[in-house]
Amino acid sequence: VAISPSCVNYDETLSTLRYADRAKQIKNKAVVNEDPNQKLIRGLKEEIEELKRMLMSGEMPAGGQQQGMEEAMKENQRLLRESERTWEDKLKDSRNQFQEHSAAFAKMGGVADDERMSTTAHIINLNQDPQMSGVLVHFFEGGLTKIGRKDAEEPQNIELSGLSINKQHAVVSTIGNKTTLKPCEGAK
């Protein structure tokens, strides 16, 4: 659509001019995505620097507010330390939780390296989802390994769950190079 002095195009010309006027009034404001904690920390640091600058230059407001400003600066520093400490605590908690999960995962069998898998008897989980297959590997180092559910009378070395898993499902016996799997009574 173009602007034309012809009265035949009056409506189109007026519409184009209104659109151009509205388009000129559009203002874009670019905003950087940032963590709210980081924004708070940055704001507190800026305020601390401003308060320090005012203290050093003697630009104190009238009315003896120097003590109030010093208290505000101390409060801001405390909030800054607390927010940074909170982040460090969260990181520490995450690391502790990861170590706990790793230990539990290793107890359940975990993922092992190929060299050990080629020399030691083991079982691997299979799943319809290819990403879930081979995630758990249980090794049979030697002696007896009991396989069953968590609620079995005796503690099981390998705990499984599922509708067809009995409380005491199977026993794996490893003596030297020979590994034998014996199902318990009623196991399918």
Structural domain count, the chain: 2
Q: What's the order of all strands across the beta sheet hosting 158-159?
A: 158-159, 143-148, 168-175, 178-183
Give Cα 100 distance to the centre of its chain: 16
Q: Tell me the mean pLDDT in the region 113-140.
A: 72
The pLDDT value given to residue 133: 61
Domain boundary among 108, 129, 152: 108
**Do 84 and 125 lie in a common domain?**
no
Question: Mean pLDDT for the chain?
Answer: 78
d(CA 115, CA 128): 26
Do 184 and 165 touch, CB atoms closer than 8 A?
no
**Do 77 and 92 lie in a common domain?**
yes
Residue 159: give the domain boundaries.
114-183
Q: Kindly tell me if the per-residue pLDDT of 112 is higher than 50.
A: no
The pLDDT value given to residue 95: 74
Q: Tell me the mean pLDDT in the region 164-180.
A: 91
Report residue 65's pLDDT band, with 50, 70 and 90 as the boundaries.
low
| Of 92 and 28, the one with more pLDDT | 28
pLDDT digits (tens, 9 = 90+) for 4-63: 677 777 888 888 889 999 999 999 888 777 777 778 888 888 888 888 887 788 765 555
| Nearest alpha carbon to residue 145 among 182, 176, 115 | 182
d(CA 66, CA 89): 34
The pLDDT value given to residue 162: 83
Report residue 148's pLDDT band, with 50, 70 and 90 as the boundaries.
very high
Domain boundary among 108, 129, 158: 108
d(CA 68, CA 5): 68
Nearby residues of 142 by Cβ (< 8 Å), 6 or more positions away: 174, 175
**Do 54 and 84 lie in a common domain?**
yes
What's the pTM value of the predicted model, to 2 decimals? 0.40
**Do 123 and 174 lie in a common domain?**
yes
Do 167 and 185 touch, CB atoms closer than 8 A?
no
- Residue 133 DSSP label: T
